[in-house]
Amino acid sequence: MKCIVRSALLVAVVGAALMAGPGSARAHERDWRWREIDQRGVYIGFGGMANFVVNQASAPVDGFISQGGGLNLFLGVRLARMFALEAGYALNVHNPVHDAWGATTSALLLHAATLDMKFIIPNPSPVRPFFQAGLGIYELAGYPDNTDYRNGLGFQLGGGLDVYLNHVVSIGGRALYHGISFTQDIGPNKPFLSTVSVEGNLQFHF
């Protein structure tokens, strides 16, 4: 009787292991497949953004800059599984004036050259949430003749999601707060400009 019980237990254990084995192997394979995207490397990306002005402290006139939008280009280096450095350049157009045919005749251009630290949250899926923070050099210039340009120093802080379509291509989105302190007078004051940018982008990883 004891031999029969031991044999039955052995058969049950072996059967359970055989049944669980393929599923566990597949789960491990899926987990490893997505962990491969956390390797060190370089990535480049570009995107479009809306830039919302939320405050204009010490502005020369009330509402001197309107809501805007533009493009962003960036280059990043993934230094560790959870950390990357990212350099970017953004150009946002504000206060556009159009002629009767719809062409832009004048505008304010907000340039930004930034360097950010990116903190990535790894997990067994193609989705990578992240937080980022950094510093930037900003410039506000008139279009089309670059009149009334003013420089500023600022910082940016926020986060978003990157979704990997495969090991090379990902799509992403993020929202960042920008605090910009102009170092030159605009009118009688040096404004402090607060904006929030909302961006969607496409990235390539190498």
Two structure tokens written together for 22? 């393929």
Pick the most confident of 4-8, 181-185, 189-193.
Answer: 189-193
The predicted structure's pLDDT at residue 13: 39
The predicted structure's pLDDT at residue 60: 58
Whether residue 121 is predicted with pLDDT greater than 60 in this model: the reply is yes
**Peptide bond preceding 191 in cis form (omega within 30 of 0):** no
Whether residue 4 is predicted with pLDDT greater than 70 in this model: the reply is no
d(CA 68, CA 202): 21
**Integer CA distances (angstroms), 87 to 29, 116, 137, 186, in order:** 34, 6, 12, 28
Q: Give the pLDDT band of residue 29 (cuts 50, 70, 90).
A: very low
> Any idea what the Cα angle at residue 120 is, between residues 114 and 123, rounded to 5°?
160
Residue bearing tokens 């496409």: 202
Q: Is residue 38 helix, strand or coil?
A: helix
The predicted structure's pLDDT at residue 132: 98
| Residue in 176, 67, 196 with CA at minimum distance from that of residue 131 | 176
The predicted structure's pLDDT at residue 101: 80
d(CA 138, CA 114): 8
Convert the pLDDT of each residue in 71-88 to its tens digit. 999 999 999 999 999 999
Pick the most confident of 19-23, 60-64, 188-192.
Answer: 188-192
Terminal CA-CA length for the chain: 63
Q: Give the pLDDT band of residue 184 (cuts 50, 70, 90).
A: low
Q: Give the pLDDT band of residue 40 (cuts 50, 70, 90).
A: very high
Average pLDDT, the chain: 81
d(CA 18, CA 111): 61
Pick the most confident of 122-126, 146-150, 166-170.
Answer: 166-170
Q: Give the pLDDT band of residue 134 (cuts 50, 70, 90).
A: very high
Region of residue 54 (left: phi > 0; alpha: psi -120 to 50; beta: else): alpha
Residue bearing tokens 């279009």: 143
Q: Lowest mean pLDDT of 39-48, 138-147, 182-191, name the range.
A: 182-191
The predicted structure's pLDDT at residue 61: 57
